[in-house]
Amino acid sequence: MINFITLSSLLLLVPSAFGAAILRRDNGCNGWPSVGIKDNNASFELWAHYESRVTVPLALTSFSNDTSNGNSSATKAYLAPDDLGGTVIASLFQLNNSGLVGIGSPDANGVNATWISNSVDTGGSAPFSLAADANEAGIADDYCEVPNTDPHGPLIDGPLLGVMGSTSGWAICNRIDIPLFQGVVFNPASYSSSYGFNFTTCQNVTIYLRSDALGNLS
């Protein structure tokens, strides 16, 4: 397991009550070159590419298998492998003012639930909350769609998902409470246990976008 914490990243850390750290936001695409994209209204999927070249689809999940009341009882969701995070709440996404928006299942009136990204803590998950309006996503302006210019680009056929000025640092880690569950973690560290993740299980991934509009869905 590669330690994600570097000297430069430590300079941005602020201790929390749990002894973990919260990384200061950089206003999403403002920390990228002009090619960074902060808005993408075309729905896309998110996929994780492991160093072993295995790819898995990601989704918003509840870290729970409770479906007694459908998804309506959930008010928080987390980015995770779609089959290893519990109840799937949304699997399509958009970018709105550097905020990531999850498109949930329609309610009784046929209106799709809207999930907006919250600020990302280094060492923690990628959390989302239920919202009335997708425009609220810009409140946590952490995310950016970044053209893939990596030398290994052909292995990842799509633009990358960046957060807080970096497309690296993503990992998938097992939960502590339910070890069969996994979640996406940014810059995992030993204090990731404060967020419910087992640091020793973390595996590096690159997260990228797939959609019909991008021509890489098949």
Tell whether the model's pLDDT for residue 2 goes beyond 90: no
The domain total for the chain is 1
Average pLDDT over residues 24-34: 54
Residue 163 belongs to some domain of the structure: yes
Supply 137's token pair: 């996503």
Tell whether the model's pLDDT for residue 23 goes beyond 50: no
Residue 149 belongs to some domain of the structure: yes
Residue 29 belongs to some domain of the structure: no
Residue 119 belongs to some domain of the structure: yes
Residue 10 belongs to some domain of the structure: no
Residue type at 206 in one-letter notation: T
Residue 170 belongs to some domain of the structure: yes
pTM exceeds cut of 0.85 = no
Tell whether the model's pLDDT for residue 164 goes beyond 50: yes
- pLDDT on residue 106: 75
- pLDDT on residue 190: 95
Ramachandran bin of 28, using left for φ above 0, alpha for ψ from -120 to 50, beta for the remaining angles = left
Q: What is the mean pLDDT of the chain?
A: 79
Residue 23 belongs to some domain of the structure: no
Average pLDDT over residues 62-86: 73
Residue type at 69 in one-letter notation: N
Residue type at 162 in one-letter notation: G
Residue type at 128 in one-letter notation: F
Of the spans 8-22, 57-71, 109-123, 159-173, which averages the highest pLDDT? 159-173
Residue 216 belongs to some domain of the structure: no
Domain of residue 161: give its range.
38-65+74-210
Residue 162 in 3-state DSSP? Answer: strand
Tell whether the model's pLDDT for residue 25 goes beyond 50: no
The widest CA-to-CA distance across the chain, in whole angstroms, is: 51
Alpha-carbon separation of residue 174 from 63, 105, 112, 138, 177 (angstroms):
11, 26, 29, 29, 9
Sign of the dihedral defined by the CA atoms of residues 85, 63, 78, 180, in that order: negative
